[in-house]
Amino acid sequence: MIVINEIMADPTPAVLLPEVEFVELYNTTEYTINLEDCTYQIGSTEKSMPAYSLGGGEYLILCDEDDVTLFESYGNTLGIASFTLITNGGQTIIIYDTAMNVIDQVTYSDAWYQDSNKEEGGWTLEKIDPTNTCSPQTNWIASNDDNGGTPGEINSVYAVNNDTVSPEILSVSVSASNELTVIFSEPTDTTESLTLSKYDVTPDFGTPIFAMVNPENSNEILIQYAASFAENVNYELTV
């Protein structure tokens, strides 16, 4: 899958990297993934991504189209017109596929730097383990690289950081006549959470027809069924 792997939210004062914002993506698979017509969202602003084939195990630097030449020496670079400003103190960044399903998202804050000097600017936030998609805050930290970040290459803080605690269901509610809203204790693996056969409702209610991650809260999954839930019946959801 494609993951958000590094964020330069506050490039000033620069350490040694270009003094502009960027976001790095990483393809964790061994397969080439075409990003054409995928959507990149910062805050409430969405941008359609141009055609680009990202090879397995490769990194891609996203930046404003006017800044592409600044990053070409660092690796694969893709310019986006009017690249949205990234808020220094925290914001949500989302990557959607062509069907507007969430591929990856992160809601960071300046507390994630875990270093009061680096959060003042010039240093990137790096993901520790790109294969761990379920432990947001404990899987990010300020870069340790002397340049201030590692665009286009393995992160300086890279380490195996397995999530050993499974997400717990905190609540389940009927949000529409045929829809459930399930809130977990932490973000879930996107592939797993969108696998319809994972959800079992008793009394037997059949397999859901649709599931999606709430783009505003990655801990929340919306599940839809073909039939409506009956009143005054107790249902039990097993995941």
With cut-offs at 50, 70 and 90, classify the pLDDT of residue 15: very high
Contacts of 23 (CB under 8 A, 6+ apart): 4, 6, 7, 8, 40, 61, 62, 63, 86, 93
Q: Which CATH architecture has domain 2-142?
A: Sandwich (2.60)
CA 219 from chain center: how many Å?
Answer: 12
pLDDT of residue 36: 93
3-state secondary structure of 234: coil
DSSP letters for 168-206: -EEEEEEEETTEEEEEESS---HHHHT-GGG-EEETT--
pLDDT of residue 95: 93
pLDDT at 162 over 90: no
pTM for the whole structure: 0.75
Task: Report, as an integer, the average pLDDT of 17-40.
Answer: 96
> Taking the domains of the chain in order of start, what are their residue ranges?
2-142, 169-238
Q: What is the Cα–Cα distance from 155 to 235, expressed in whole angstroms?
A: 46
Greatest mean pLDDT range, 97-101, 134-138, 164-168: 97-101
pLDDT of residue 4: 96
pLDDT at 165 over 70: no
Q: What is the Cα–Cα distance from 53 to 36, expressed in whole angstroms?
A: 8
**DSSP conformational letter for 164:** -
pLDDT of residue 134: 65
